[in-house]
Structure 1
Amino acid sequence: MRGPSASLPRGRRGWAGPSLLIGATLAALVVALALVSFVWTPYEPTQMAILKRLRPPSAEHWFGTDQFGRDVFSMIMVGARNSLAVGLGAVGIALLVGTALGLAASRRRDGLLDHLVMRAADFSLAFPAVLSAIMIGAVWGPGMHNAVIAIGLYSLPYFARLARGAALQCRQLDYVQAARAAGLSEATITRVHILPNIAGVLVVQATIQFALAILAEAGLSYLGLGTQPPAPSWGRMLNEAQTFMADQPWLAIFPGAAIALSVLAFNLLGDGLRDAVDPRTRRSRA
């Protein structure tokens, strides 16, 4: 029999605070913008039109055009797709590998594997997120795939530590002890009893790390280590806009706003999900 799920008490299920609602709404808008870009954009985002360069926002070009005459709104749409792709890939790698390492380390507390995983995590977390991604990206070279790996490797220790801590708590509970006394293997106990009960906190952490991944991708692209041209990238758009800040500020305002709103959306979503999973957090803020 599966142990109790890490969810809200029955009377509080379905509760949604303002952080969750606002975050989910903004995140849905970003995702919708990215999905729509697969089938439609106002203009071809990589098509240059020198005669239309540096035009201000108008009915023809909603967010104006850049120094090459490319439509900024179209580039924002495709940039959303690329940012989400990097975030999904990086967080997916970190979630799968980090959770597996954390669960393996939790099987024997204070064992060799536990010490190795925790010390490696401590070493990785000693460096700021974006700096770590920049260092790895600089070593492996620029490109979207390398950015995914670099950001994923940095995010991995968060999931390893979280999975280990949550699993250690679950292993002390009565239903896990009963399953062990019944002769179930540790692998079966982990799969049937522990993993489903720590999935909630892992999802919350994944949402928060997703916001950091978007910010890290923008930072790498700004430095030329992330998504490479001609593929649009919010970070590179900011880099290219520096020269025109005085006369054409919209070139920096729109990609900067896209990054800020996306990071805010997934941070609020993660904050709201954390409140929903752990009502004690919500009560402490009341």
Structure 2
Amino acid sequence: MTRAGASAPVPAKRWWTGPSFLIGFALTGVIVAGALLSYVWTPYPPTQMMILNRLKPPSATNWFGTDQFGRDVFSMIMVGARNSLAVGLGAVGFGLVLGTTLGLLAAIRRDGFLDNLIMRTADFTHAFPAVLTAIMITAIAGPGMLNAIVAIGILNLPYFARLARGVAIQVWTRDYIQAARAAGLDNVQISVRHVLPNVAGVIVVQATIQFALAILAEAGLSYLGLGTQPPNPSWGRMLNEAQTFMAVQPWLAIFPGAAIAIAVLGFNLLGDGLRDAIDPRLRRSR
């Protein structure tokens, strides 16, 4: 109960009710649900060619129409979502684990040789255009989903390394770190038990943003023929194949383009909502 004349505290706005988080969660939920559903069901086999049904407009039979080979566009988009999410998970996971580890190591020996080596390497990697670097790596290693994951994962390394180092350096100045030292913990134990949990929040937010960029990068590589290879459906390759028919069959480009836009927008908005939850200064300012 509050004292007489004192106003009751205003409850803090729940971050998960914010528009960014809700819209982002809904959009990403649609993409993830479609990808998971494609493992057990699609309206038609996504690689089945039916030449007699080629270039059919959207209808009750084929919800998104058919392409130049008679394949069902809706089924291809469902499986394409699965492939895009697989590349995003692999690439972001690779960059997150290795980049965060390097960032924590750099924070332990800040301003030392190891710190300078890791950060200068990250700066060197970050200096090149991301898409151009991914094209160069996949062109050298060969096209394919695995090589696309490695290429995009390498591009994610400097983002996670620099972010983890910046936050970790702030954590190392806290009093409980000195208490952990006094308790006999070494630098690696302190990093795992105390620094990493305080870095994890911002890393998760960055991961959602990098996930959106990874999906966009995979679509770009597939558009150029360097990403997911046939017969596996890919949103980027669907756009590439649709450009010949843009004037007469625009839905062939509209639907995969909309899928890419929804996925990228959803993960970006989800990252904004998570950032509101993790950064208390943002919550207080709203």
One-letter amino acid matched to 2:99: G
Deviation of the 1:227 alpha carbon: 0.1
Deviation of the 1:128 alpha carbon: 2.6
Extract unaligned runs of 5+ from structure 1: 1-9
Task: Assess if the C-alpha contact under 8 Å between 1:179 and 1:189 holds in 2.
Answer: yes
Aligned residues: 276
Q: Percent identity?
A: 75
Give yes or no for the alignment of 1:184 onto 2:193: no
**Equivalent residue for 1:67?**
68
Extract unaligned runs of 5+ from structure 2: 1-10
Give yes or no for the alignment of 1:257 onto 2:254: no
Task: Assess if the C-alpha contact under 8 Å between 2:15 and 2:21 holds in 1.
Answer: no
**Equivalent residue for 2:50?**
49
**Equivalent residue for 1:4?**
none
* Bigger shift: residues 186-195 or 40-49: 186-195
One-letter amino acid matched to 1:267: N
* Bigger shift: residues 32-41 or 13-22: 13-22
The TM-score with structure 1 as length reference comes to 0.94
The TM-score with structure 2 as length reference comes to 0.94
**Equivalent residue for 1:203?**
204
One-letter amino acid matched to 1:112: F
* Bigger shift: residues 268-277 or 83-92: 268-277
Deviation of the 1:15 alpha carbon: 4.8
One-letter amino acid matched to 1:245: M
- Equivalent residue runs for 1:132-151 within 5 Å: 132-151=133-152
- Equivalent residue runs for 1:1-286 within 5 Å: 11=12, 15-283=16-284, 286=286
Structure 1 residues 137 and 282: alpha-carbon distance in aligned structure 2, compared to 1, 3 A threshold: farther
* Matched residue SS, 2:39: coil
Deviation of the 1:11 alpha carbon: 5.0
Task: Assess if the C-alpha contact under 8 Å between 1:220 and 1:235 holds in 2.
Answer: yes
Deviation of the 1:34 alpha carbon: 0.1
Cα distance between partner residues in 2 of 1:258 and 1:243 = 19
- Taking only aligned residues, the RMSD between alpha carbons, in angstroms, comes to 1.3
Cα distance between partner residues in 1 of 2:279 and 2:181 = 27
Whose radius of gyration is greater, 1 or 2? Answer: 2
Structure 1 residues 104 and 241: alpha-carbon distance in aligned structure 2, compared to 1, 3 A threshold: same
CA displacement, residues 171-229 of structure 1 (integer Å, 9 cap, x when unaligned): 00000111112211111111111111111001000000000000000000000000000
Cα distance between partner residues in 1 of 2:14 and 2:20 = 16
CA displacement, residues 68-111 of structure 1 (integer Å, 9 cap, x when unaligned): 00000000000000000000000000010001100111111111
